[in-house]
Amino acid sequence: MAEEARSTASLDYRDMLRIRLMEEEVMRCVQDGRITGSTHLCIGQEAIPVGVCRALDPRDPVVATYRGHGWALAKGVSPVQLAAEVMGRDSELNGGRGGSAYLSSPAHAFMGENSIVGAGVPVTLGLAMAHQRRATGLVPAVSIGDGAMNQGNVHEALNMGSVLGVPFIVVVENNGYVEMTTSDLLTAVPAAARAAAYAMRAIEVDGNDPSAVADAAREARAIALADSRPVMLEAHTKRLGGHYSGDAQMYRPVGEVDLWRAFDPLPKCRALLDPADAEETDAAVATEVAESFRRAAEIPFPSASEVMAHVRAH
């Protein structure tokens, strides 16, 4: 394996492992009460945010769904501050007000999550229009699930983006499920096939291979700029957990998750590394994540006196 490819694989593995361990600790926090409410985890889908963000200009804005912790981390958001935010602490991100499903960090060009299915696409269209008018050369990207391709606001935004000639990337994370229903029962054709209706180009990629995702995202970005249109990138992956943290997953066939673990991007990427390097990364990232949550727990909760601080009209 060429040295450059090995180096990239090492970075991919480190970044995916950070997301995986952060998500696993978030789940433990929900279970033991350190985090209130539910949360939506991206376990099994880590290669997509890592690969896409590797290919983007670091200044390219990214918008995510409520399953967006991995995207925030891939954009460079501090694990300490992310942990603090989802724990409701007075973090440097959103002061505990964003929580798991609404956190954002414009300083990292992570423009936030959105719990309304598909709503990130019109938001990203607006971002793309602003950057186009300012001639920044930046290309916003938005992550959605394949189920969001059945939402009207998504199609309105794609049509408008194509008509107006606005470049942005729509990353469809096709994880096999639309909440608790398999994708094939709700969608007549693949997401990528719908792009042609809006004169958009579409790329399909193995969403469990961070290197392939990065190559596809790089191509999508170049096409968006060259064609001055939205581009769709459909990444096929597997959701190894529930739709949300309290999901008992009784709807899944017995043994399905075990079968799907064969697609887990982490072991595949780890196998590309020197064993000693992989073990060193395992230890370093585990320590980083544990320390991040320890430090996050030391950050105080927001003061009750600040409850109206970010209310613009009342």
Residue pLDDT, tens place only, 212-250: 999 999 999 999 999 999 999 999 999 999 999 999 999
Q: Do the strands 230-236 and 168-174 form a parallel or antiparallel pair, or are they unpaired?
A: parallel
Alpha-carbon distance 36 to 245, whole Å?
11
Burial of 107 (C-beta count, 10 Å sphere; 0-12/13-18/19+): exposed
Asked if pLDDT for residue 199 goes beyond 90, the answer is yes
Asked if pLDDT for residue 3 goes beyond 80, the answer is no
Q: Note the pLDDT of residue 4.
A: 73
To the question of pTM greater than 0.75 for the whole model, the response is yes
CB 188 within 8 A of CB 146: no
Q: Note the pLDDT of residue 1.
A: 56
Contacts of 148 (CB under 8 A, 6+ apart): 65, 117, 118, 121, 154, 172
Alpha-carbon distance 68 to 91, whole Å?
17
User: pLDDT category, 252, cuts 50, 70, 90?
Assistant: very high
User: pLDDT category, 311, cuts 50, 70, 90?
Assistant: confident
Domains of the chain from N-terminus onward: 36-77+85-242+249-264 (3.40.50.970)
CB 51 within 8 A of CB 71: no
